[in-house]
Amino acid sequence: MKANPILVEITRGDLTESIHRGAYAVIKDDASVVSSAGDIDKLTYPRSSLKPLQALPLIETGAANRWTLTNLEFAIACGSHSGEERHVTAVREWLERIGLSMINLGCGAQQPTSTQARRYLVKNNIAPSPLYHNCSGKHAGFLSTAKHCKEPLEGYLEKNHPVQLRIKQILSEMTLDNIDVSPVAKDGCGAPIFGISLRGLALAMACYGTGRGLPDARVNAAKKLYKAMTAQPFMVAGTDRWDTETMILSGSRLIVKGGAEGVYSGCIPDQGIGIALKIDDGGRRAAETIMGLLLDRFGKFNQNISLKLNALSFPPILNSNGEKVGITQIHSEV
């Protein structure tokens, strides 16, 4: 099997110190390939980059209307939050609204990814709860859908539970991958995660952004979730997080969603494209760099946004004294 190409290089002085291989797909909503590198048909677990798609049933089933959910809840349902106070409060109040609490969350407890939030817990001798889990918003969405549809709350993470079967159906319809024969595993939060191709994920995100080929109910759901992610980017990630900063920078022109092990997805509706990528070694730094490059290359941004996006996506390598000792750069053939 041919290795995926080198996408990103990390230098120190005059030497390349590290390399990151991977693959990416930029796909139009008509399924044509705009640009790609590496094996875009190999199956990979999209991890949290899948969350905008996993949140669609929250609106499609009518659960969002039943529980009078707003952009705040929609965004955190699509997000991997940092466990900051606003995130935790939003999920807690959402669960209270539907008559549930953190004990119903099946994601498990997790230390917040925010350094400041972790320090607060340690200082105040507070044990992390499931509310701090970066996926707690997604799980609140799962529970909201199950309760609205009068389905069992117990076992809502099982792959044959109606909550998960609806998501599986959406993935089959939007990625055009044969999800019925795809490998399935448990994500870090316990939810089923299916093997999907980068081609399929990018196509799904392209149609998510434009609505092409989707039934009216799904077009409406995708529009609402897209609007929420761009209106509430802090809820998608958090302070100083790349996803949040990129969406703030670009206004409402795009959405991006990172996942564990170097996966990213996103779309730029006014260009009719979806993007999906995977870094072979799971490196987030390389994933953010390549996603930034692709957004800049195909987003047709003005020079001001382009410069800021590049500054965000190509961080310098600093030593302990804050001195620049290397750079993050794209491999010459990308």
- Report residue 180's pLDDT band, with 50, 70 and 90 as the boundaries: very high
Q: What percent of the chain has pLDDT over 70?
A: 100
Backbone angles phi, psi at 90, to 5 degrees: -60, -45
* pLDDT beyond 90 at 161: yes
Measure the CA angle with vertex 54, ends 287 and 300; round to 5°.
Answer: 45
24 beta partners: 37, 277
Does residue 43 contact residue 196 with C-beta atoms inside 8 Å?
A: yes
| pLDDT averaged over every residue in the chain | 98
pLDDT digits 0-9 by tens, 199-228: 999 999 999 999 999 999 999 999 999 999
Quote the tokens at residue 278.
Answer: 């995977």
pLDDT confidence band for 103 (50 / 70 / 90): very high
270 CB-near residues (< 8 Å, 6+ apart): 253
Taking the C-alpha atoms of residue 174 and residue 247, their distance in angstroms, rounded to an integer, is 24
Mean pLDDT over 124-150 rounds to: 98
The pLDDT value recorded for residue 331 is 94
Question: Which amino acid would we find at residue 206?
Answer: A
Enter the pTM of the model: 0.96
pLDDT above 90 coverage of the chain, percent: 98
Backbone angles phi, psi at 136, to 5 degrees: -65, -30
C-alpha 82/C-alpha 134 separation (Å) is 6
**C-alpha span between 158 and 152 (Å, rounded):** 11
| pLDDT interval class at 122 (50, 70, 90) | very high
Domains of the chain: 6-330 (3.40.710)
pLDDT of residue 169: 98
Confidence at 125, pLDDT banded by 50, 70, 90? very high
Residue 62 is predicted with a pLDDT of: 98
Handedness of CA 24, 29, 31, 35 (dihedral sign): negative
Question: Binning pLDDT at 50, 70 and 90, where does residue 333 land?
Answer: confident
Per residue in 239-262, pLDDT tens?
999 999 999 999 999 999 999 999
The per-residue pLDDT for 334 is 85
Is the confidence at residue 40, as pLDDT, over 80?
A: yes
- Helix (H) / strand (E) element for 95: namely helix 85-97
pLDDT of residue 1: 76
CA distance 269 to 29: 9
pLDDT score at 332: 80
Per-residue pLDDT of 285-325, as tens digits, reads 999 999 999 999 999 999 999 999 999 999 999 999 999 99
